Structure 1
Amino acid sequence: MEGPDQPNLLSAQMNPCAICLGGISAGGGQAIFTAECSHTFHFHCISASVARSHQLCPVCSAHWRQLPLVRPADPMPAPATQVPLPPVDVMQPPQYRRLTTHPADAVVFDDDEQVGMAAGASADSPRSAGGAPSNGAVVVKTHTDYSAIARDSSHDNFAVLVHLKAPGRTEAEADAPAPRAPLDLVTVLDVSSSMRGSKLALLKQAMLFVIDILGPDDRLCIVSFSSKARRVTRLVRMSDAGKALCARALDTLVARSGTNIAEGLRTAAKVLDERRYTSGGVSSVVLLSDGQDNYTSMRQAFRRGSPNYAALVPRYFARTSGSGDRTAPIHTFGFGSDHDAAAMHVVAEATGGTFSFIENEAVVQDAFAQCVGGLLSVVVREAHVEVACVHPGVRVVAVKSGLYDSRVDEDGRAASIVAGELYADEERRFLLFLVVPRAEETDGDGDATTTLLKVTCVYRDASAGADVYVTAEAEHTVVGRPEQAGDVARSVEVEREVVRVEATEDIAAAKAAAERGSHQEAVEILENRRRAVAHLKAARGGDAMIAALEMELRDMKRRVSSRRSYACSGRAYMLAGMSAHMQQRGSSSQLQLPSVIGFDAGGVTTSMAAAGTHELSHQVASTLPYATPAMLAMLLRSRKAREAAAESGQQQHKVQEEIAEGGSEPNVPGDPNQ
C-alpha cells in the first residue's frame, strides 16, 4: 500500500478518483491513495469515507488490511481542469448494514436518484380501467385455417391464428416526441482479462452511445464484473450531469482476471430490488460477456451431464408480479466466439429476455442500439389474451405460444396467454388448435356457420397507466359450414405461422442432434425444413419473414455441419435464432451480415448518411424480420454515429501522418491560427 507522500504517478494519471470521479494527475497538487484492491482515490476523498466504510473499499467492498493515515486538513480544491458536477449527481458512498457472510450483501443500494412517475401511473392509487390509450389500441385479429368446413365433417386439430399488433406512430406523429414509459436500465459488463484491448474499447464506445440515447426521465446503472462485481455508478437520471457522470465512470473500467457472471447479476438484482424510488416504468438488464463463468458452482441438478445454468439467475429475476409478468428481463449478449452460449441463453430464457450472438465484435454498438431502441418504445405492458369458446361443441386442445406462458382450462372451453410487454408496432402470433364438431350434431348456429371463439386482449397502456380491453376486430371467429366445402384454400397467414413454429421445433431438434455429435443428422433436419419453407406460396410471393427463415436455415446448416464449426459459432447462432423465434422479438445475431450492416471486415463500405428509416427497414426486412421501426431507427442512428467516428478517425490518422512526414503541425480547416 502506498502512502500519500509516495503516489503511484502512472496509476494516478490513468485512473480517475473512484469516489468523486475527478481527474488525478501528478501535477494537480493533490495527494493520492492506491488501495490493495487497486482502486485509486484522492487522499482527502478517502479520508472522509474510510471511517464509515469499516475497513471496506467504498467501491468494491474489499477488506483492507491497512488504512490510509487520516490527518486533519482542509479539503483540497478541485483542479481547474475538473468540471464540477451538482452534488445530487455525484455518486455517494453507499450505506452499510452489519457485515454478513458475503461482504457485498452488506451494501444497501438505496441511493438511486429520484425520478417522476410515469404519466398516469400512481404508486398509491388503483389502476384505472378502460382508460384511453395514448397511442391508439392494440389491434387483435383472428384467422382460421380454412374459411369453411363441410357441414358433415369434424376436425380434431383445426388451427386458428390470434394476431396482436401494438400501436405505433402515424406519419403525422413522426416528428413529435413519443409518449413512453421511463426506463430503469442496468448494464452488467464483462471486464475480464479476455476483454483487454479493442474489445473493451468497443464496449465503452457502445455504452457511450447508450448513454447518449437515454432521456432525462430514464435512469442508468453500470455494473462491471471480473472475479468480483462492482457497481460503477448508482442508478442515476440521464440528465446532462448524469450522462457526464456515467461517461466519466466508464473510464474507470479496466480488464481484470476472472469471470463471475452470477456475481454481476446478483449486483444488478440488488440495484433493482433495493431502489428507493420507482417510476412505474420499464425495468431491464443488459448482460454482455465474452467468457464462461468460472466462479459459480453449477453442479446441482445435472441433466445428461449439462450444468445447471439456472444457478446463475438470482431469485429476484425469477419472481413474477401478480399479473404473471417477470420483474425485469435480462437481455444477454454473447460477445465473440469464446462465450458460454448455453449459459447466456438460459439466463435470457428464464427471465423473459432475448439472447443475441455478437459474432462480429465491431457491431456491439449496433446490437445495444437495437435492443435499447426497443426498450425505449414499450407501449404495452402486462398484456393477456383471453380466449372463450362460443359454440358448445368447440374445444381448445393446444396452444402454441413459444416462451409465453399459456393455459387451457380442463374442459377446453377457455384458454389464456401471457403476452407481457410489447414495443411500438411489435407483433405477436399465437396458434390455437381446436376441436370443431360436425354441424349437424350440434345446435345453436344453424347450418350456415359455426361460431368458434371470442378473443379479448387486456393490457396496461405503458405511458397513460390505464387498463385497456380490446376484442378482436371481428367480435367472433366464425367458420362457414356449407354442404360441400369444395376446394377451399388454406389461409396464408395460418400456413405461414404453422411453418414458422415447425421450423423453430426443427432448429431445436437439429441442435440436439449436434450436441450429441450427429452433425449429418442435424444438417438433414435443417435442409428438409429449408426445402419445405422454399416451396411455400408465401416464399414465392416474396414474404420477408419466410425469406429470412430460409436464409437462416441455410446459414445454420453450414454452421452445424462439423464439430468445429458448431463449437465455434453454430451453437450460439442456433440458440440466438431459437430465442428470437420463441419470443418473436428482434435479435442482434444477424447484424454481421454485410448486406445488412453496410460494413465489411475492413470497415465502412457503404455510406448511410443519406439513408432513412424506410430505406433501412427495406434493407433489413429479410434478415431482421422481428425488428420494429423504433429498433431499426436506433440501429440507423448507431450506424451513422459509427460511420462519423470512423471518418473522424481516418482524418486524425491522416493529420498524424502529415505531422510525422513534415515535422510540424499542418493547417487544419477551421483553425483560426492557419
Structure 2
Amino acid sequence: MGGSGWRKAIRGFNLCVYSPLAAEGGGDVGPPGASYDPPAALSPPDPPALQLPTPTQSSSGLRPRVSASGSGLSKRTCAICLTTMTPGQGHAIFTAECSHSFHFHCITSCVKFGNHVCPVCRAKWKEIPFHVSSDSPRARSRVNPVNMNRRHAHMSFQHPLLHNLEPCIFNDDETLDTTFKTSGVCYNGSINTVEIKTYPEYSAIPESISTDNFTILIHLKAPLGPRNEISSKNVYVDAEDSRTHRAPVDIVTVLDVSGSMSGMKLALLKQAMGFVIQNLGPLDRLSVIAFSSTARRLFPLSRMSEFGRQEAFQAVNSLTTSGGTNITEGLRKGAKVIEERKEKNPVCSIILLSDGQDTYLLSPTLHNGQHTQPDYRSLVPSSIRDRTVHNVPVHVFGFGSDHDSISMHSISETSGGTFSFIEGEGAIQDAFAQCIGGLLSVVVQEMQVRLECLHHNVQLGCIKSGRYASWVTDGRRSGTIDAGDLYADEERDYLVSVNVPPDHHETHLLRVSCVYSDPVTKEVINPAAVELKISRPELVGSQTMSIEVDRQRNRLQAAEAMAEARASAEHGELSEAVRLLEDCRKRIFESEAAKSGDQLCASLDAELKEMQARMVDRQHYEAMGRAYVLSGLSSHLCQRATTRGDSTNSGSFTQTYQTPSMVDMLQRSQTFSPATRQSNSKMRHTLSFPARPKPR
C-alpha cells in the first residue's frame, strides 16, 4: 500500500478516524521490519498532499501485518504520529509511567482533550505532560509541526497548548485565507439562475364557471452544482481543472460524549467525524463541541488545511465518554462559536448528534399537581431561535432508541434545520455524509418567492409552503414565501389556491418571481418572472388533473396524516393512528399520480406502511415509531432528505429529495467505509481497505 493510502484502526471499542499515511516512498507503516498493531488513539501526521485515493483490494484482503505479541511498535517510533524519535533532532520526548514514549508535542496535543490513558497499552496515567498556561510566552510561541511538508515550511501554526484553556470570547477563529484561490481552487458564482415553473390544476375552465379553490403548483429548481467539488477524489484541484462554484462553509459539530455513548457508539462517531474532516476543503472551517454534563470546545473554528485536518483528527481521536447529557450547554457553546467569530464564511450550520435525553433543562416539573409540558424551544440558543445570528440551521441527528426525539425534532424545527433518526449504529457516517453533501453545495441564499394576482377579480387563498414561512398581503392580491437556502439542483414545490371568476377566452391568474443572493458573489439575483394563464372556452370536455399538482397534494396529505397519527399515538390511541395512516394510503393509491406510476407516491406508500408497523404497541412506538414519524415530517415539510430507520433497511436513505451532491457524498461514504455496514460482532482488530468504487 502506497504512502497516500488509507487506514482504519480498531482496538477494542476505540475506533480511530480515517487518516492518510505520511510515509514517503514506503509501503509499510513504521520502520522497516517492524510489525504494526494499531494504537487506540491515533493522530495522523501532516501528509504531503491530502488526496482521497481509490484503494484497491487483492484476494488476500490487503491486511497489514499484526503483531501477535501486542504493540509491535518500535521503541524509536512515536505511537501517535508514527514517525521516528531520534534524540538530538530538536523534539522533546515524553516517557510515560507505563514506559511508552511519544513526542512531547504529540502527547500534549492528545491529553489536552481530557484523554489521560496511554494510546498504546491503555494504562491510565497518574502523571501527564505539563500544561503551559495560555498566557505564558512559551504558549504564545508558534512552531512548525513535525514532518511538515517543505512546500508549506513558510506557514506557521498555533501551538496546540494554546487551546488548553478556553478563552472567554470565541473570536480566535482562523482567518479566511485566500491563498488557495491562486493555487488551484477558484470560487465563482452560480453559472445559471433558479428555474421557475407553474402548473395549474386544470388547463381550462368553462367561461361561465367560477371557483374559489383553484390550485396552482409553483415549482422551483436551483442552479446546477459544481462539477468537481464533490465528485472529485482530489481535495486540491489543479488550476487547469478548476471549475468549483460552491461557497465555503463554517460547520460546528456538537457531539454527545455522555456515558451512554461509550464503546462502539463512540468508535463509529469518531470514524464519521473523520469522514467529515477529510471531505471538507481548505477554505471550509470546522469547530467541534463535545458535551456531556458540561460542554467544551475542542478547537476553534479552523480551516481544514493540511494542518487543520491534523489538529481536528487529534481532537476527535482523543474523545472519551462520561457524565450526563446537557444538550442545552452543547448548543449554547456551539452558538457562541458562531456568534463571536470575527470572520464569516458564506454558509454556516450546526450539526448536533445525541443518543440521550437532556437531563438538565428538561427535567420533569409539576404545576398544580400535573406535569408541565417542557419548553423545547428553550433548548435552542436565543441567537439562533430569534434569528439574531442570521440563518444558522441546526441539523439534528437522534441516535438510537433512547434519545428524546420530541426535543431533538423541536430543535431542528425551531432553527430551520432537519431531523434525522439514526436507528442503527453503522449509519452515523452515511447520515453525516448526506448532510454535508448538501451543505457543501449551497448555491442560493435568502430566497423569497413573490406572488402577484393579475386579473382584477383574482385573489389568493391559502399558501401551502410546509415548514417555510409565507404570508398574504395587499388585500389578498399578493403573497410571499420565505424559501431560504437551496442546495445545487435542489427542487421546491408550493401549492397556492386562488379564486377564478367567470371570464372570456383566457384568464391571467398569477405572476411568480423570486429574488435571492448568490452566496459567493453576494450579488442579488432576479430571474425572469413567470406568468400563468388558463384558457376559458365556452365548453370543456373531459380533462385530467395535472399529475404534478396531484403529486404534491399527496405529499402534503401524507404529512398531515403523519402529524395526526402521531397526535393520536401520543394519547395512546395507536389503533386510531394506524387507521389514519391506512386511510391516507388508500387516498394516495386512488390518486391520478399514483395510477400514472409516480415514484413519489410509491415512496410515500412504503413510508406510511413502515410507520404503521412501528405503531403495533406502545413499546414499539416509543422505541422506533415516534422518531421515525418525526424524521418523516421533517423531510416532507422541509422537502429535504433525512435519514430514518435502520441502516440495514433500504428505506433508511430514501431517494426522496436527495440532490446529486448528497448522492455523491453518500456514495463516497458507503464505498470508503464498508465496516459500517457490518454487524458489530463481525468487526475485527485489523486494518481494512474498501473495494474500488463500482462504475456508475
The bucket for the TM-score relative to the shorter chain is 0.7 to 0.9
Question: In the alignment, which residue of structure 2 is the partner of 1:613?
Answer: none
Structure 1 pair 308/530, CA: closer, same or farther in 2 (3 Å)?
A: same
Letter in 1 for 2:332: R
SS in 2 for 1:269: helix
Question: In the alignment, which residue of structure 2 is the partner of 1:670?
Answer: none
Q: Which moved more, 1:463-472 or 1:240-249?
A: 463-472
Question: In the alignment, which residue of structure 2 is the partner of 1:552?
Answer: 607
Question: In the alignment, which residue of structure 2 is the partner of 1:135?
Answer: 191
Structure 1 pair 80/414, CA: closer, same or farther in 2 (3 Å)?
A: closer
User: Does residue 630 of structure 1 match 2:661?
Assistant: yes
Structure 1 pair 44/253, CA: closer, same or farther in 2 (3 Å)?
A: closer
- 1:641 pairs with 672, 678, 683, which one? 672
SS in 2 for 1:107: coil
CA RMSD of aligned residues (A): 3.8
Q: Is the 8 A contact 1:91 1:233 kept in 2?
A: no
Question: In the alignment, which residue of structure 2 is the partner of 1:309?
Answer: 376
SS in 1 for 2:526: strand
Distance of 2:255 and 2:221 partners within structure 1: 33
TM-superposed deviation, 1:476: 1.3
User: Does residue 295 of structure 1 match 2:360?
Assistant: yes
Distance of 1:402 and 1:262 partners within structure 2: 27
Q: Is the 8 A contact 2:218 2:493 kept in 1?
A: yes
Distance of 1:250 and 1:119 partners within structure 2: 26
Q: Is the 8 A contact 1:139 1:167 kept in 2?
A: yes
Question: In the alignment, which residue of structure 2 is the partner of 1:605?
Answer: none
- 2:348 pairs with 273, 283, 286, which one? 283
Question: In the alignment, which residue of structure 1 is the partner of 2:468?
Answer: 404
Letter in 2 for 1:93: L
- TM-score, normalised to structure 2, is 0.74
Structure 1 pair 456/299, CA: closer, same or farther in 2 (3 Å)?
A: farther
- 1:460 pairs with 517, 520, 528, which one? 517
Q: Which moved more, 1:558-567 or 1:629-638?
A: 558-567
Percent of aligned pairs with the same amino acid: 40
Letter in 2 for 1:516: H
Q: Following superposition of structure 1 onto structure 2, how do residues 419-430 of structure 1 map, counting pairs within 5 Å?
A: 419-430=483-494
SS in 2 for 1:108: coil
- 1:510 pairs with 560, 565, 572, which one? 565
SS in 2 for 1:568: helix
- 2:210 pairs with 149, 154, 161, which one? 154
Higher helix share: 1
User: Does residue 451 of structure 1 match 2:512?
Assistant: no
Letter in 2 for 1:239: S
Distance of 1:555 and 1:566 partners within structure 2: 12
Question: In the alignment, which residue of structure 1 is the partner of 2:330?
Answer: 264
Letter in 1 for 2:497: F
- Count residues with an aligned counterpart: 563
TM-superposed deviation, 1:537: 2.9
- 2:456 pairs with 389, 392, 415, which one? 392
Q: Is the 8 A contact 2:463 2:470 kept in 1?
A: yes
Distance of 1:266 and 1:205 partners within structure 2: 25
Q: Is the 8 A contact 1:89 1:241 kept in 2?
A: no
Structure 1 pair 170/272, CA: closer, same or farther in 2 (3 Å)?
A: closer
Q: Is the 8 A contact 2:492 2:639 kept in 1?
A: yes
TM-superposed deviation, 1:263: 0.2
SS in 1 for 2:272: helix
Specify every segment of 5 or more residues in structure 1 that has no aligned partner in the other structure, as ranges. 1-12, 53-57, 59-74, 97-103, 121-131, 440-446, 598-619, 657-674
Letter in 2 for 1:160: I
TM-superposed deviation, 1:28: 3.9
Distance of 1:421 and 1:509 partners within structure 2: 29
- 2:162 pairs with 75, 80, 93, which one? 93
Q: Following superposition of structure 1 onto structure 2, how do residues 175-574 of structure 1 map, counting pairs within 5 Å?
A: 177-279=243-345, 281-297=346-362, 305-320=372-387, 326-439=390-503, 447-472=504-529, 475-574=530-629
Structure 1 pair 393/116, CA: closer, same or farther in 2 (3 Å)?
A: farther
Structure 1 pair 244/650, CA: closer, same or farther in 2 (3 Å)?
A: farther
Q: Which moved more, 1:490-499 or 1:368-377?
A: 490-499
Distance of 1:586 and 1:319 partners within structure 2: 25
Q: Is the 8 A contact 1:290 1:339 kept in 2?
A: yes
Q: Is the 8 A contact 2:450 2:480 kept in 1?
A: yes
TM-superposed deviation, 1:318: 1.4
Q: Is the 8 A contact 1:94 1:108 kept in 2?
A: no
Distance of 1:579 and 1:364 partners within structure 2: 18
TM-superposed deviation, 1:133: 5.3
Letter in 1 for 2:219: H
TM-superposed deviation, 1:595: 3.4
Q: Is the 8 A contact 1:91 1:234 kept in 2?
A: no
SS in 2 for 1:93: helix
Distance of 2:629 and 2:261 partners within structure 1: 24
Distance of 2:304 and 2:394 partners within structure 1: 21
Q: Is the 8 A contact 1:399 1:431 kept in 2?
A: yes
Question: In the alignment, which residue of structure 2 is the partner of 1:614?
Answer: none
Structure 1 pair 558/148, CA: closer, same or farther in 2 (3 Å)?
A: same
Structure 1 pair 499/221, CA: closer, same or farther in 2 (3 Å)?
A: same
Question: In the alignment, which residue of structure 1 is the partner of 2:235?
Answer: none
TM-superposed deviation, 1:140: 0.3
Question: In the alignment, which residue of structure 1 is the partner of 2:639?
Answer: 584
Q: Is the 8 A contact 1:359 1:592 kept in 2?
A: yes
TM-superposed deviation, 1:39: 6.4
Q: Is the 8 A contact 1:334 1:357 kept in 2?
A: yes
Q: Is the 8 A contact 2:421 2:631 kept in 1?
A: yes
Distance of 2:359 and 2:326 partners within structure 1: 6
Distance of 1:166 and 1:428 partners within structure 2: 9
Q: Is the 8 A contact 1:89 1:242 kept in 2?
A: no
Write out per-residue CA displacement over residues 148-187 of structure 1, whole angstroms, 9 at most, x where no aligned residue: 1111111111101110000114989987643111000000
Q: Following superposition of structure 1 onto structure 2, how do residues 110-125 of structure 1 map, counting pairs within 5 Å?
A: 110-116=171-177
TM-superposed deviation, 1:462: 2.1
Write out per-residue CA displacement over residues 115-163 of structure 1, whole angstroms, 9 at most, x where no aligned residue: 147999xxxxxxxxxxx95221110001111111111111111101110
Q: Is the 8 A contact 1:147 1:479 kept in 2?
A: yes
SS in 2 for 1:320: coil
Specify every segment of 5 or more residues in structure 2 that has no aligned partner in the other structure, as ranges. 1-38, 44-79, 82-92, 117-124, 182-187, 233-240, 688-696
Distance of 1:392 and 1:244 partners within structure 2: 64
Q: Following superposition of structure 1 onto structure 2, how do residues 72-87 of structure 1 map, counting pairs within 5 Å?
A: 87=156
Q: Is the 8 A contact 1:316 1:327 kept in 2?
A: no
Q: Following superposition of structure 1 onto structure 2, how do residues 17-36 of structure 1 map, counting pairs within 5 Å?
A: 25-26=95-96, 27-28=100-101
Q: Is the 8 A contact 2:225 2:443 kept in 1?
A: no
SS in 1 for 2:644: coil
Question: In the alignment, which residue of structure 2 is the partner of 1:166?
Answer: 222
Structure 1 pair 301/631, CA: closer, same or farther in 2 (3 Å)?
A: farther
SS in 2 for 1:153: coil
